[in-house]
Amino acid sequence: MSTPRDLRVIVIGAGMAGILSVIRLREIGLPDLTVYEKADRLGGTWRENRYPGVACDVPSHLYSYTFAPNPEWTHRFSPGPEIQEYLETVATEYDVERDVRYGEEVTELSWMEGRWHLRTASGIIDEADVVIAATGVLHHPSYPVIDGLDDFAGITMHTARWDDGLSLAGRRVGIIGTGSSAIQTLPTIVDEVASVSLFQRTAQWVMPADNPAYTEDEKAAFRDDPGLLHTLHEEISELFSNGFSNAVVDADSEGMRMIEAACLANLEDSVADPELRERLRPDYRAGCKRLVISPTFYDGIQHPNAELVTEDIERIEPGGVRTADGRLHELDVLVLATGFRVDRFLRPIEVIGVDGLTLDEAWAKRPNAYLSISTPGFPNLFMLNGPNGPVGNFSLIEVAEVQFNYISQLMDLLRDGRAGSVCVTGSATEEFEEERTIQAGNTVWATGCNSWYLDDRGVPMAWPWNFQEYRDRLARPDLALDLLAD
């Protein structure tokens, strides 16, 4: 037993999960907190991803905090700037920013004498009983290794580092990649550019989805009756999270067959030219890569300004991209829609846990965490959307809320003196990881494709059971079996 105490909490990151943490920490009576945010503005992924067409492919009324439903969403799938505005509005409403220190990049976290000691790049030193890492998953851009990339004489931009001041009107644009970022960018710019060449290494299955606007009458009804928004949230959650999540974790499920049929019909019905259709046809199962949802991609790629390039890229030259057939695709702007380094999590922060163990050492093979929240050797350090969590086409807001509820119960142990520190045990982590790895083999993500879901062994880095199971497992920490509370 320890002494009951008030806790001081440090949150790293002021994105969706950091904002959630501030609001919920105050609500549960832990107002002694500071958020360190390296940028000068909140919003995380929505602050950083500002490429044309950026949008969320989770329905807006699901991609909302449960405590802050939003009657003003304009579309079923809202554009990125609207989500950024939503996050800012919620933050203002809850006065979140009074606890945020912007422009402060955390460089070091050390566990010493039962507390976390923090240092920032500017030299700030702070300490706390608990650290919540709300540092995001898709955060560090992945740059491709292609000969000559630095020689390009035009403008090169990663989609997550978009230059807001740049006009693409009349320019010859190349896009490398066919993930969600590329597939949202292309149809958005195709009308204004002189040309857009999409360099496809691997074809994508594309799930069709209508994106209707909410009418003024619908929005007025949502404003008048918050119960309607709640019902809508529950309905979409049931349909989207449960329906989809049941399908992807069982490669042989009926739900997966329906998704595959919808993607196949979309390709067959939407692409007129048989030769183009074949070049757009993937040779792996739909859903194996993270499913791309787009109502506009096939129209975009068939636009007279667009060209699908399926020859391998040989190198980049000052004038453009040279493909293996010897052709030079002359370009003014090269967009790298090449995704993210998904193994980073809170790194490059140097995290030093019990007995000098560093997170780099603990994760030398690969990042790992029990229920995606806690890692052995790092007590009172809790991650939101940490390694191997539910990352499929879920609402990561919903995931983070479930995780926060779990973390708040761990913090109760510290507050009421049942423990001085809380951490998952090594054996529970190993058992969990073994069970998770076996189950991951049944998912559609393991059916034979390359994707950012796969770790160095080819095992999906994801929660391999359905979302209800995640909710159930996180409803209450199993202290006897899983957690070391000293």
By CB under 6 A, name the binding residues for ligand NAP: 55-57, 138, 144, 146, 159, 176-182, 184, 201-202, 290, 313, 337-340, 450, 452
Nearer to ligand NAP, 193 or 449 (CB): 449
Task: Give the pairing of strands 306-309 and 140-141.
Answer: unpaired
CA distance 298 to 266: 9
Kindly state the smallest distance separating residue 221's Cβ from ligand NAP, in Å: 27
Nearer to ligand NAP, 146 or 351 (CB): 146
Kindly state the smallest distance separating residue 405's Cβ from ligand NAP, in Å: 24
Nearer to ligand NAP, 55 or 186 (CB): 55
Kindly state the smallest distance separating residue 95's Cβ from ligand NAP, in Å: 28
Kindly state the smallest distance separating residue 195's Cβ from ligand NAP, in Å: 19
Nearer to ligand NAP, 10 or 20 (CB): 20
Kindly state the smallest distance separating residue 425's Cβ from ligand NAP, in Å: 31
Nearer to ligand NAP, 57 or 97 (CB): 57
Kindly state the smallest distance separating residue 329's Cβ from ligand NAP, in Å: 13
Kindly state the smallest distance separating residue 369's Cβ from ligand NAP, in Å: 19
Kindly state the smallest distance separating residue 320's Cβ from ligand NAP, in Å: 15
Nearer to ligand NAP, 159 or 368 (CB): 159
Cβ 308 vs Cβ 280: under 8 Å: yes
Kindly state the smallest distance separating residue 253's Cβ from ligand NAP, in Å: 21
Kindly state the smallest distance separating residue 7's Cβ from ligand NAP, in Å: 33
* 3-state secondary structure labels for all residues of the chain: CCCCCCCCEEEECCCHHHHHHHHHHHHCCCCCEEEEECCCCCCCHHHHCCCCCCECCCCCCCCCCCCCCCCCCCECCCEHHHHHHHHHHHHHHCCHHHHEEECCCEEEEEEECCEEEEEECCCCEEEECEEEECCCCCCEECCCCCCCHHHCCCEEEEHHHCCCCCCCCCCEEEEECCCHHHHHHHHHHCCCCCEEEEECCCCCCEECCCCCECCHHHHHHHHHCHHHHHHHHHHHHHHHHHHHHHHHCCCCCHHHHHHHHHHHHHHHHHCCCHHHHHHCCCCCCCCCCCCEECCCHHHHHCCCCEEEECCCEEEEECCEEEECCCCEEECCEEEECCCEECCCCCCCCEEECHHHCEHHHHCCCCCCCECCCECCCCCCEEECCCCCCCCCCCCHHHHHHHHHHHHHHHHHHHHCCCCCCEEECHHHHHHHHHHHHHHHCCCHHHCCCCCCCECCCCCECCCCCCHHHHHHHHCCCCCCCCEEEC
Nearer to ligand NAP, 142 or 408 (CB): 142
Report the residue number whose CB is nearest to ligand NAP: 179
Nearer to ligand NAP, 55 or 118 (CB): 55
Vertex 89: Cα angle to 98 and 346 (nearest 5): 60
Nearer to ligand NAP, 182 or 369 (CB): 182
Nearer to ligand NAP, 204 or 403 (CB): 204
